[in-house]
Each structure stands twice: as structure tokens, then as C-alpha cells.
Structure 1
């Protein structure tokens, strides 16, 4: 029996090649897209869950309240963690980590490693990072102990054993002993590094007093609680701990800390404080919805075409019922054929997924999966989904066709009925509603990305090369030599560039009442040329000047407009001449600069201060003429090798570096666009199939109309009108839905576009054009057909 069903299924597939192709293609594309999105969502949700103790690991974060603001930071002071461990038996262990970049040298091999991390020796006790060589208990215990990842160790040692060997770290060439080799940290870890340096290098060698600094907030701290400890109960004990150890200093400095615990599993997607690597829960939700939508569209196509074509088999069912076929047997036949189609689509999906997975990994910017068979549960789920779709798509035609009386069919009185037509029209509306929502979403995502990349940032980032000198002793000679290169327009030293981070500084600035007001402010150290070279405008006072070199290097500060507002000044001019104290320096504000975006457009412009500190400038920014960029770069490289020979020649373009902040949003936009295109393509396939079926059903009518003088445009209009009405209904349903979802998405950006009315109009017109183009192909073909052949076939 099953063999017979299978044969009939294959014959029907082959007999209706076009319908079969559209059905299988649409469903394959839909399941493939859904499969990829499911892998992406599962990967994002899996961050840090590979840690066996993840349920007991918490990130310690701080709210710092000053008279000016409350700062929600992901860091804690260096003194908190060791003292918490000593005071609370509920804490089993702690680990502090801090991202760094180091110049690492071994013989003639040198790399500027930007993925390094300082870590306490307890790192391997708290987290499940694996050491291939070395003792996890002691590998990070001694000062200047270093661990390389599998990938990093090959750069310096090849295939030889690195344990016990020495490398030189930083521009000061500090000897460091290799004590371990670790497996590359998992891709779904928000803590990542290729090189680990022992935290004791900092706390015992470079800055031996740092563990006693309660006001120095620079450590990312993780606590491992003992089994059964309630994190919320433990957190309620922290205020007394802070008061005991830091209460006097907090009141004197007017900076009050509140310690909070964040579950490790929540840090990547749910924390608003940032971190080494962060994700977006809203993006996960959006992609999950898109996956459901795409699969829904594919299923609608499949069900629509299956139910539409099933009517053609009414006579076959009538004859089989007359000769004794049971109702259950006929239902099984229809459901079985539908399942066979879905299994074929499943097999094609596997092939497509294997072929496209590398491209998808590249688009997402992560290795979501090394191969489609790396997790067999995904394949099993995919197969079950395909079978379920097949069963659901087969149930309706089976129920309809097995319920009628064979006498009526054999007399030619059977028709699909209004219920079947209503179902198909409803499904088309759902399908195009989803497609229009995705078109609107794509336009809004593109406009937001374009807005961020083209907005006036308040500073010049074009034609700017940035080099890190690591405060090499040859940096001044290098700058002077570079100034003489014909293609170089200007050079300047600084501690930071826009988009590249900043120092946070405890500051006291005179407010509009004449009092020194405490605040923690962003701080750039710059030289005298920085403001001019970066095109930052002054709105009050003056920029730093060599004419005031003695005071500007020791007693002068420039603030931005936002800082002036923070201290109560209604105009920037009022802030000029006011007193400040900051990091041991006292002086006066000499100027107020116009706000510029020194952070991503996702974040609001916050108060910023600048000071001239010539001994703390490691970055050199070089503005170049791009007419002969290759030659200019060669000249700069020659000077670099002459004056800074111990450091590899590396640089970045500031515009590319700044735009890198939007990389995750750009990837989101590309993925969203590609999946929107797939959804629209699947909808068009379904519409093409339904138009083909509709035309087939009206072959006789079209023939008669042509004989009676109907024109080709008239027939095309007749065949298209019904479908276009459905698309119009879809547009009115999709518009409020799209506005709601995209309005929510835009809330993640501090600076964002307004959703304009024309976006919806463009999306509606596009949907109409796409639908009309799809339908017209079949309609024109039918209108141009010879009516004699149509009527003869009837």
C-alpha cells in the first residue's frame, strides 16, 4: 500500500512539474532561511553557557553617584574584589580581568597584540577555559607570566614547545615567561583573549599599590558564589561593606558606590552597561520573528498551492471512492504526497545549508557553526518541521476531497467552493503583509545606517591615519621627520581619538554657584595641534596655544558644551575662567568646544574635558593628502622603521575605525536585507503559482472573452485585479505593524531618524510593482494564447 502511495505521489509530482518546482523551491528556501536564523539565535542565546558553573558566576558592577550624575559602569575598583572575598564566606572565588594591547616580541618576530587581557590566577577556576599545556592553578600566579592561545602561540613559536621560554612585552621590553598554552576561547564567550598576562604583573610589579585603591574603577570583576548562595541576599550586605571600607573617602570625595551583581548568563544580551563583547536582545527578537515569518510565508505558499491543485483531482477521488477506496486511505494518500514533497525540500535544504553556511558565517561576522552537522539536534528538528508542514498542508485537501459525494463529481458538479477561495485569499494577505513589513523594515534599517555614517560628527575624520607609538622614546623624532614628508598635511599627538575610548577622571569643577562640584568626566590628553587638526570648533574662550605653553601644560582645561551644561552654565562663555581640580592638577577653564561625537551615535554626547599632558600621549594622528597615498605611506613607513624600529608598522584610518563601532548594526542590516529579499521571493513564487492556477481555471472564460473582442490589456487587468486588491489590504495591515516594530528597534539609538510617511508609500508601491510583475507574466501569457485552442480543449 505504501509503495503504491509513493508511486502515485511521484507520478503527480512529475505530471505537474511547474507546481512541484514552485512548491519545493519556495519551501526549501524558506526552511533554509529559518534554519540559518535559528542557528544564529541559538548561538546568541548560548553565550557563556558553556561554563559549568555559569549559574554561580556573577559580574560585579557599580553605580557611582556624584552630585552631578549617577554613572552606571561595568567596572569596579581594584580593591573591592579581594576584600569582598575576605569579608564574605559566601564567595568561593573571584577573578578580575582587564583588556589591554601589548607589543610582544620574540627575536625578530613582533606583533602589536590588541586582543590581550590581564587576569587573576583564579581565571581557570571560575571559567571553563582549557589549558593544553601548563598548570591552571599556577600558570597566572607569578608576575609577568604569560599564556598564549593555540592560534597566537604559532605566530611566535611555530610547532616548538613554548613552556618556559621568554618573550618581551610592551615598549619597555619587559621579559615574560610563557607558562601555558590554552585552547582558543569559545566564540560564544563574552570574555575573549589570545594572550593572557598575570594580574600580579600589574598589582605586584607595575603598580603595587593598586589593590588598595578604592576609588580607581578599572577592573572587570567576576564572583563565583558557593553552591546554594542567594545572590540577591548577598547583594543586600554590600552597602555595609562599602561603608566600612570606603565610607569616609566616599563622603570626602562625594562619590558614593553601590555594588550590584549581574548573572553571567545575562551579561551579553541583557546588560545595559556594556562589556568586552555585547549583543542585542532586540536583534534576537527581530530575527526570531523574521524566521517565523519566512517559514510562515513558505508554509502558506505550500498549503495554498497544494489545496488549489487538489481540486483538479476531484474526479480521480470520485472514481477511487466508487471502486471502494476508504476515506482514511484517500486521506493518507494526500497527506503522504504532501510529506514526500516536504522531505524532498528538506534534502534540498541540507544541500543549500551546507553550501551557504560559510557565506552566512561571514555575513554574521562570527562562526555561528563550523558545519551543519556539528549539532545533530538542529537537523532532527529541521526534519520534524518539514514533516509537520507536510502533514498540515495535506490535511485540508484530504478533508475536503474525501468528504464529497462521488456522484456529484462524476456529473461535473464539484467546485472548490467559496471556503477554499477565502482560505487562499486570506493566506495571500498574510503572506504579503509579512513581505511589506520586511520591505518597510529594510528601508528604515538602511536609512538609520546611512544616517549614522553621514551625520556631521563635529570633527574631521577623513584622510587621517592613526599610529600607536606605545610612548616609544623615538616618537618625537618620528613626528618631526613625518612633518617633512610632502604628502603629510598635519600631525598631532593624543591619548585618544574619537571612537577609541577615553580616560575617566575624578574631577572638581566650579559650578554656576561658585562651588567646586564633583563629577567623573571623560578626559582626553592632547597636544597643542589636536583641536585644529581634528576640526573641532570652539564656542567660547580659546584653544590650547604654544603662546601660553607654561600655563597650558599645567593649569589649563577645555570642556565641551555638555560639560558646561552639567555645571549649570546657560551659555558656554560663563564657564570660561572657572576653577578646576583633576588628577592632581589645578587651574582654570580656558575654552569651551562645540559638542562632537567622541562615542558612537548609539550613545548620547556626554561631558568631555581636554588637557595638555605631553608625557601621556601615545597616539599620533597624521592627516595626509590622498593624491599619492601609496607613496606617502611608504615614506611614513621608512621614518617609522628609522625612529621606532622595535614596534611593527601598523596603523588605521580614523574614518574606518570610527565606523567600526557600527559593525554589528551593519551586519544586522545586511542579514535583515537578505532575509527580506528571500521572503519577498518566496511570496512571489507563491503568487506566480496561484496566478498560474487561477489562469488555468479560467482558460475557457479567457477564450470566450477573446472571441468576443476583449483586448490583451483588458484580460491582463481582469486577471490581476483580484490579486492586487489582496496586496492593497496587506499594505493597510502591514503599515501599523511595521511602524510599531521599527519604532521599538530605533529606541536603541541615542541619535536616530524619524520614520517618514514616504517610507510606507514606497514600500506599498514596491509591493504592488513586485506583485503586478509576478502576476502579469502569467496573465499576459494567457491573454496572448490562441482562443481556438482554449475552447477546443474544453
Structure 2
């Protein structure tokens, strides 16, 4: 019996090749898209889950309260980890990590390693990063110990054993011993590094007092708690201990720190504080919904196409019932055909997934999977999903086909009834509601991305070349040498660039009441040319000037508009001449600059201070002319090698660097767009099926109308109008739903667009055009059919 059913199924599929191709293609594309989204979501949810002790690992974070604000930071002071560990038996181990950029040299080989981490000796006890060579217990104990990743070590040692060998680190050429080689850190880890350097290198060689600096916040601290520890109860215990260890200093500085614990497994997707790498739970939700929508559309499409062809099999069913076929047997036959179709779609999905996975990895910006067969569970799940879709999607067509009344069918009268028509129309409305919502979402995403790219940032980033000198002693001479080159318009030195981070400084600034108000403020160290060269506007007072060389290098500060508001002044002019104390310097505010976006547009502009500190510069910014750019770059490189010979030459353009901050949103937009296109294409197939079904049922009506003189355009309009109503109903349903979800998505941006009416109008018009184009193909074909053929059966 099964063999007979299988043969009939294959014969029917082969007999109707075009129908089978459309149905299988739509289903395969839908399942493939859903499968890709599943892999992406599974990858995002898997971050840091590979650590065996992840349920007991917590990130220690800090709320810092000052008289001016409460700062919710993702780091702690350097002193917290080593000082609180002995106070709490619940803490099994702690580890601090801090990102660093290191110049590493071996003989004539030198690289600037931007993905380096200082790490405490417990690093491999807390985390499950695999050490391929070396002793995990001691590899990060001694000062000047260094561990390379298996990829980075090859740059210096090739295939030779590096253990015990020496490399030179930093511009001062400090000898460091290679104590280990670790496996490359997984892509789904929020902690990423190409090399690790023992924390004792920092605490015993470079900054010997840092372990006791309670007010210096810069370390990411992780705690491994003993099993059964209640993290909330432990948080409450932190309060009296911090008071005991550092209460007096905090009161003197008017800063109070509250320690909180974040589960490590939740940090990547759920933290609001930031970190080395963070994701978006909103995007995970959105893509999950899109996956369900695409799968739903594909199933609806399958049902509509199958029932559309059911008319052609009505007589077959009637004859089989007359000769004794039971309703259950017929239903099983048609469900079996549905499953066979889905199994074929499964194999096509495997082929499509294997072929398109590299493209999807590139679109998503991360390797979500190295291959679909790398995880057998994926393939098994995909097969199960295909069979399940076949069973569920085949039930309704099977019931319709097996319920035909043979007498009526064989007389030539067939109708599936009002309920059947209503169901099919409802399914098309559901399809196009989803498609229109996705069109609206795509337009909003691209509009927001365009807004962020074209927003006035308050500074000039075009043709600005940036080089990191790592505070090399030759940087001033290098700046002077390249400033005379023909293609160089301006040069400036600083500690930071817009979008590239900044220092946080404990500050006291005179407020509108005449008191010194404590605040933790962002700080840029800049030279005299920085403000002019970056096109930052001074709206009160003056910029830094060499005419005031002695005072401006020690006693002058410039603040932005947000800082003016923070200290209670109503106009920028009121802040000029007010006192400040910051990092051992005292002086007066000499200028107020207009706010500029020194973060991305996802973050609001915070108070910012600038000071001239000649020994704190590590970046050279160069404004270039577009004429003869390759020649200018070559001359800059030549000067670099002359004045900063110990550091490898590298540079980037600020506009590209700043735009890089929006890569995750851009990738989200591209993925969203591609999945929206797929959903619309599959919806059109479903609409084509329903149009085919409708025109077949009205064949004789069309023939009679043509005999009575109806024009082709009149018949096309008659057949199209019902479907246009369905699209309009879909538009009414989709608009408020899409507005709600996209409004929630935009809420994550500090600076965002307002969703305009034209977005909805454009989506509605586009949906109507796509639907009309799809329907017109079938309608025109029916309208041009010879009426004699249409009426022959009467």
C-alpha cells in the first residue's frame, strides 16, 4: 500500500512539473531562510555557555553615585577584586581582565597586537579557554608572562615551540617569556584576545600601586562563586565591606560605589552597561519572529497551491471513491504526497544551506556555523521540521480532496464551498499582512541607518587619517615632519578621537552656586590645533592657544554644552572663568565647545572636558587633500619609519572608523531586507496559487462574459479587484503592528528618526504593485483564453 501511495505521489508530481517546482521551491526557500535564522539565533544565545562553570560565574559591575549623576559602568576599580576576595568565603576565585594594545617584537618581526588582555592568574581556573601548551595553573603567575593564541603565535615563531622563548613588549622593549599557547577563543565568547599578559606585569612592573587604587575604574572583574551561593544575598554583603575598606575615601571624594553581580551567561544579550562585545536581545526576538513568519508564509503558500490544484484532481478522487476507496485512504494518500514534497524540499534545503552558508556568515558578520553538517542535530532537526510541515500543511488539502462527493464531481459540478474560499482568503491576508509589516520594517531600518550616516556629528571626519603612536617619544618630531608635506592640510596630537573611547576623570568643577561639584567626566587630552583641525565650534570663551602656552598647558579647561547644563549654568558664557580640579591640575574654564558626538548616535552626548597635557598624547590625526593621495600616504609612511621605527606603520580613516560602530545595525538591516524579500516572494507564490484557483473556478463565467462583449481589461479588473481588497485588508492589519514593533526597536537609539506616514504609504503601494503584478499574469491569461474552450464543457 505504501509503495503504491509513493508511486502515485511521484507520478502526480512529475505530471505537474511546473506546479511541483513552484511548490517545492517556495517551501525550500522558506525552510532554508528559517534554518539560517535558527542557526543565527542559536549562536547568539550560545554566548559563553561553553564554560563548564558558567552558572556560577558573575561579572562584577559598579554603580558610581556622585553629586552630579549615577554612572552605571561595566567595570570595577582595580582594588575591588583582590581586596574583597578574602572577605567572602562564597567567592571561590576572581579574575580581572583589561584590554590593551601591545607592541610585540621578536627579532625583526613586529606587530601591534590590538586584541591583548591583561589577566589574573586564575584566568584558566574560572574560564574554560583551552591551553594547548603550558601549565594553566602557573602560566599567568610571574610578571612578564605572555600567552599567545595558536593563530597569533605563528606570526612570531612559525611552527617552532615558543615555550620559554622571549619576546619584547611595549615601546620600551620589556622582555616577556612565552609561558603558553591557547586555542583560539571561540567566536561565541564575549571575552576575546589574541594574547594574554599576566596581571602581575601591570601590578609589579608598570603600575605598582594599581591594586590599591579604589578610585581608578578600568578592570572587568569576574567572580567564580561557590555552588549554592545566592548572588543577591552576596550583593547585600558587599555594602558594609566596601564601607570598611574604602568608606572614608569615598566620603572624601563624594563618590559612593555600589557593587552588583551580572550572570555571565546573560551579559552578552541582556546587559545595559556594555562590554567587550555585546549583542541585542531585541534583534534575537525580531529574527525569531521573522523566522516564524517566513515558515508560516511558506506553509500557507503550500496549502493554497495544493488546494488550487485540487480542482484538477476532483474527477480522480470521484472515480477512486466509486471503485471503493475509503476517505481515510484518500486522506493518507494526499498527506503522504505532502510529506514526499516536503522531503524533497528538505534535500533541496540541505543543498541551498550548504551553498549559501558562507554568504550568510558574511551577511551576519560572524561565523554562526562552519557547516550545516558540523552539528548533526541541525540536520536531524531540519528533517523533523520538514516532515512535520508536510503532515500539518497536508491535512487541510487532504480533508478537502477526500471529502468530494463523487456523484457531484462526476457530473461536472465541483465547489469547495464558502468556508473553503474564506479560509484561503484569510491565509492570503495573513501572508500579505506579514509581508507588508516586513516591508515597513525594512524601510524604517534603512531610514534609521541613513539618518545615522548623514547626521551632523558636530565635527569634521572627512579625509582625516589617524595613526596610533602608542606615546612614542618620536611622535612630536613625526608630526612636525609630515605637517610640511604638500598633501597634508593639518596635523594634531591627542589622547582620543571621536568614536575611539576616552578617559574618565574624577573632577571637581565650580557650579552655579559657587561650590566645587564632584563628577566623573569624559576627558580628552588635546594639543593646540585639535579643536580647529576637527572643526569643533567654540560657542563661548576661546580655544586653547599658544599665546597662553604656560597657563593653557597646566591651568585651562574647555567643556561642552552638556557639562554646562550639568553644573547648573543657563548659558555657556556663565561657565567661563569657573574653577576646576582634575587629576592633579587646578585652573579655570577658558572655553565652551558646542556638543559633538564623540560616541555613536546610539548613545546620548555626555559631559566632556578637554585639557592640554603634552605627555599624554598617543594619536596623530592628519587632514589630507584628496589630490595625489597615494603619494602623500607613501611619504607619511616614510616619515613614520624614520621617526617611529620601532612600531609597525598602520593607519585608518576616521570616517570609516566611525561608521564601523554601526556595522551591527547595518548587518541587521541587510539580513532583515533579504528575509523580507524572501517572505514577499513566497507570498506572491501563494497569491499566484489562489489566483489560479479563482480563475479556474470562474472559467465558464469568463467565457460567457467574453461572448457577451466584455473586454480583456474589464475581465482583468474583475478578477483583480477581489485580491486588491485582500491586500488592503492586510495593509490595515499590518500597519499598527509594524509601527509598534519598529517603535520599540528605535527606542534603543539615543538619536532616532520619527516614523513618518510615507513609510506606511510606500509599503502599501509597493505591496499593491507586487500583488497586482502577480495576479495580472494569471488574469490576463484567463481573459485571453478562447471562450469556445471555456464553454465546451457546458
Contact 1:493 1:618 in 2 (8 A): yes
Bigger CA drift: 169-178 or 519-528? 169-178
Distance 1:702 1:18 in 2: 24
Structure 1 match to 2:690: 690
Provide the aligned C-alpha RMSD in A. Answer: 1.1
Structure 1 match to 2:558: 558
Q: Deviations over 1:583-628 (max 9, x none)?
A: 0000000000000000011000000000000111010000000121
Distance 1:556 1:548 in 2: 9
Secondary structure at 1:308 match in 2: helix
Distance 1:351 1:447 in 2: 35
Secondary structure at 1:509 match in 2: strand
Structure 2 match to 1:231: 231
Q: Deviations over 1:170-199 (max 9, x none)?
A: 111111111100000011000000011111
Structure 2 match to 1:772: 772
State the number of aligned residues: 794
Contact 1:306 1:393 in 2 (8 A): no
Contact 2:308 2:689 in 1 (8 A): no
Distance 1:754 1:591 in 2: 34
Deviation at 1:404, TM superposition (A): 4.3
Return 5+ residue gaps in structure 1 as ranges. none
Secondary structure at 1:627 match in 2: coil
Structure 1 match to 2:635: 635
Distance 2:376 2:62 in 1: 42
Matched, 1:168 2:141: no
Q: Deviations over 1:209-268 (max 9, x none)?
A: 110111111110000001111111111100001100010001100000000000001100
Structure 1 match to 2:574: 574
Matched, 1:34 2:39: no
Structure 2 match to 1:516: 516
Structure 2 match to 1:443: 443
Distance 2:453 2:78 in 1: 37
Deviation at 1:562, TM superposition (A): 0.2
Bigger CA drift: 244-253 or 391-400? 391-400
1:75-94 equivalent positions in 2, closer than 5 A: 75-94=75-94
Structure 2 match to 1:621: 621
Structure 1 match to 2:606: 606
Q: Deviations over 1:642-669 (max 9, x none)?
A: 1111111100000010111111111101
Bigger CA drift: 476-485 or 537-546? 476-485
Q: Deviations over 1:495-548 (max 9, x none)?
A: 000000000000000000000000000000000000000000011100000000
Distance 1:28 1:736 in 2: 31
Q: Deviations over 1:340-379 (max 9, x none)?
A: 1111111100000000000000111100000001111121
Deviation at 1:451, TM superposition (A): 0.3
Distance 1:656 1:51 in 2: 35
Distance 1:610 1:793 in 2: 89
Bigger CA drift: 303-312 or 539-548? 303-312
1:320-335 equivalent positions in 2, closer than 5 A: 320-335=320-335
Distance 1:168 1:581 in 2: 38
Distance 2:779 2:178 in 1: 74
Contact 2:143 2:201 in 1 (8 A): yes
Structure 2 match to 1:731: 731
Distance 1:763 1:630 in 2: 45
Structure 1 match to 2:108: 108
Q: Deviations over 1:665-701 (max 9, x none)?
A: 1110110011111111111122122222322333332
Going from structure 1 to structure 2, the CA distance change for 1:414 and 1:696 (only over 3 Å counts) comes to closer
Return 5+ residue gaps in structure 2 as ranges. none
Secondary structure at 2:71 match in 1: strand
Contact 2:67 2:254 in 1 (8 A): yes
Contact 1:361 1:367 in 2 (8 A): yes
Matched, 1:719 2:740: no
Distance 1:704 1:403 in 2: 30
Q: Deviations over 1:320-358 (max 9, x none)?
A: 122121222111101000111111111100000000000
Matched, 1:492 2:487: no
Secondary structure at 1:412 match in 2: coil
Structure 2 match to 1:203: 203
Structure 1 match to 2:300: 300
Contact 1:22 1:686 in 2 (8 A): no
Structure 2 match to 1:544: 544
Secondary structure at 1:359 match in 2: helix
Structure 1 match to 2:699: 699
Bigger CA drift: 273-282 or 772-781? 772-781
Q: Deviations over 1:387-439 (max 9, x none)?
A: 11111122112223333443232233331111111110000000000000000
Contact 2:314 2:404 in 1 (8 A): no
Bigger CA drift: 450-459 or 225-234? 225-234
Structure 1 match to 2:597: 597
